[in-house]
């Protein structure tokens, strides 16, 4: 009989690219020798294989992880099951451990792998390293999943057992290298062949150590005032932890308890409670995707299957490139293109503009964000776009249409954010910054602006597009009265 510490275990890294508070790695390390692996599987996810910005981040995150593992990370390309089976044979491994992922395609693949490995008498264990609560732990009294966020968080999350505390540091980590593997990180082809990523490099530090530094910086400088400051894109009161959380460079448990403790210690629990609630939104998105696996592709509310979406390539391209003629929208889309990120308030503004003012299907936004965001996350991306379209479980009222002019004036009053990403409007007075078409010709001329040449004329009229959107929503609404008095909100 083999001693407990003699077991040879594969630890399969996925969206948990860290050493600290990593439940699967923690348990594998206690068993004995660990073969750490990462498998790039572009086959199984099909349409939801990682987008360009995510692949760029992944390259640098894996590089950072490899350094933390002393150069012992083993990377592979191919179907996960095939790679694991081969590794078990060639390296004489006895078990496979991993942390769970919750995308529908991953659940199906993982279930198959578990069955096949157990049939081969290979020990297989999975753990929760990505969520504060498992989706099957937060349910209504009748065991049905929640469909509205507030009761999900207040009556569900906060009334069940608190999230587990972060694990202690791994005392002993005995790693081995696969001597049969010739693939190196560069072979994964994650970096772009055209250097569009150079702009993003200046915006981010990537990896577990960077994630911890980012959290510390948020706690020390930006958590105080978060409740209100998070709404203003020119302020720094955001954590910018979303890509680190998605790739698992930091655990939500580490973020939860660090923020909770800081808020209580420093006396700004209103700010920390709002941040914890944002982590709750992340949990809600995962719960929805787990219980309703069609969330990424199908309208949560079937009546939206009959919605009169338009198909307009010109509108789509103008929106993607930040050339709509509405400065706050264009600033957000250019921030996305240049940094792989977008402030959350601005995400709502650009999302509303796409699906309501332009009447483009939320799939258009979903796909563009999926390719361009470094924090592209299937659960958050899908639930977010369904929310803004009005088709989701806990959606924004579909008659609420963000006004990009008033939103800009309210949340970027001095134009600090907008001028950064739309520099051609730098000299325009605040009075006209978010509606340059109303500026007198003399002022435009003095500022070096020629609408239609140096900056676009608005591609749609706000009032006209509002009426078209409300008309389309009326067609699927059960009660026309829902729209009485509805206007441009914000």
Q: So where are the chain's domains?
A: 4-130, 131-167+208-291, 302-489
Per-residue model confidence as pLDDT tens digits over 377-432: 999 999 999 999 999 998 767 678 999 999 999 999 999 999 999 999 999 999 99
The torsion angles phi and psi of 169, rounded to 5 degrees, stand at: -60, 140
Q: Considering only 100-114, 189-203, 340-354, 376-390, which range has the smallest mean pLDDT?
A: 189-203
Tell me how far CA of residue 382 lies from CA of 263, 292, 298, in angstroms.
31, 11, 10
Find tokens 């203003």 and name the residue. 232
Active site residues: 278, 281, 309, 344, 362, 385
Residues in the chain: 490
Q: Can you tell me the mean pLDDT for 311-320?
A: 98
User: Which of 443, 69, 137, 119 is CA-nearest to residue 290?
Assistant: 137
- Residue 119 CA: distances (Å) to CA of 85, 90, 94, 133, 317: 12, 19, 13, 30, 51
Q: Which residue has the tokens 């949560």?
A: 300
The answer to whether the beta carbons of residues 331 and 418 sit under 8 Å apart is: yes
User: Per residue in 8-37, pLDDT tens?
Assistant: 999 999 999 999 999 999 999 999 999 999
Q: Where are the alpha helices (DSSP H) in 145-268?
A: 149-151, 198-201, 208-217, 226-229, 242-246, 252-266
* DSSP letter (8 states) at residue 376: -
CATH code assigned to 131-167+208-291: 1.25.40.80
Note the pLDDT of residue 2: 43
Question: Would you say 448 and 427 are in contact if contact means Cβ atoms under 8 Å apart?
Answer: yes
H helices present in 241-341, as ranges: 242-246, 252-266, 269-291, 313-321, 327-339
pTM over 0.85? The answer is yes
- CATH number for the domain formed by residue range(s) 4-130: 3.40.50.620
- Give CA–CA dist 451/274, Å, rounded: 41
**Count of CB atoms situated within 10 Å of the CB of 4:** 9
Instruction: Judge whether residue 486 has pLDDT over 70.
Output: no
* Fold of domain 302-489: DNA Cyclobutane Dipyrimidine Photolyase, subunit A; domain 3 (1.10.579)
**Same fold for the pair 131-167+208-291 and 302-489:** no
What whole-number distance in Å separates Cα of residue 469 and Cα of residue 447?
Answer: 34
Least confident piece of the model among 72-86, 194-208, 225-239: 194-208
C-beta of residue 379 within 8 angstroms of C-beta of residue 102: yes
């Amino acid at each position: 009989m083999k001693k407990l510490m003699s077991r040879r275990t594969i630890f399969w890294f996925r969206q948990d690219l860290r050493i600290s508070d990593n439940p699967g790695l923690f348990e594998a390390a206690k068993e004995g020798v660990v073969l750490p692996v990462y498998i790039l599987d572009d086959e199984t996810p099909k349409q939801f294989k990682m987008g360009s910005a995510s692949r760029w981040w992944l390259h640098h995150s894996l590089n950072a992880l490899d350094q933390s593992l002393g150069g012992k990370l083993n990377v592979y390309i191919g179907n996960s099951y095939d790679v694991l089976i081969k590794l078990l044979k060639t390296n004489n491994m006895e078990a496979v451990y991993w942390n769970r992922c919750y995308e529908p395609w991953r659940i199906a693949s993982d279930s198959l792998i578990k069955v096949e490995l157990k049939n081969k008498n290979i020990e297989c264990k999975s753990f929760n390293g990505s969520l504060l609560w498992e989706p099957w732990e937060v349910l209504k009294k009748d065991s049905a999943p929640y469909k509205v966020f507030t009761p999900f968080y207040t009556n569900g999350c906060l009334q069940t057992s608190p999230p587990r505390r972060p694990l202690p540091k791994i005392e002993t980590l005995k790693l081995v290298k696969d001597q049969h593997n010739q693939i190196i990180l560069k072979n994964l082809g994650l970096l772009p062949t055209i250097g569009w990523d150079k702009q993003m490099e200046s915006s981010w530090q990537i990896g577990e150590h960077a994630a911890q530094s980012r959290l510390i910086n948020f706690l020390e400088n930006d958590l105080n005032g978060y409740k209100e400051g998070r709404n203003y894109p020119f302020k720094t009161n955001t954590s910018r932890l979303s890509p680190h959380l998605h790739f698992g460079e930091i655990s939500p448990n580490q973020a939860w308890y660090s923020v909770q403790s800081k808020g209580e210690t420093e006396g700004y629990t209103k700010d920390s409670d709002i941040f914890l609630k944002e982590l709750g939104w992340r949990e809600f998105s995962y719960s929805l995707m787990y219980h309703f696996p069609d969330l990424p592709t199908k309208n949560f509310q079937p009546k939206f299957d009959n919605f009169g979406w338009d198909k307009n390539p010109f509108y789509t391209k103008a929106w993607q490139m930040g050339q709509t003629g509405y400065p706050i929208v264009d600033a957000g889309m250019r921030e996305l293109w240049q940094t792989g990120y977008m402030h959350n308030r601005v995400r709502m503004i650009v999302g509303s503009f796409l699906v309501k003012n332009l009447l483009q299907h939320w799939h258009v936004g979903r796909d563009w964000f999926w390719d361009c965001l470094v924090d592209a996350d299937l659960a958050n991306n899908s639930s977010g776009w369904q929310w803004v379209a009005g088709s989701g479980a806990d959606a924004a009222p579909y008659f609420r249409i963000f006004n990009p002019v008033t939103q800009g004036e309210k949340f970027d009053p001095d134009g600090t954010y907008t001028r950064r990403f739309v520099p051609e409007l730098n000299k325009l007075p605040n009075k006209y910054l978010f509606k340059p078409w109303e500026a007198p010709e003399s002022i435009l001329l003095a500022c070096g602006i020629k609408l239609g040449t140096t900056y676009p004329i608005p591609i749609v009229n706000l009032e006209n597009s509002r009426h078209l959107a409300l008309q389309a929503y009326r067609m699927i609404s059960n009660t026309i009265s829902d729209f009485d008095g509805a206007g441009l909100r914000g």
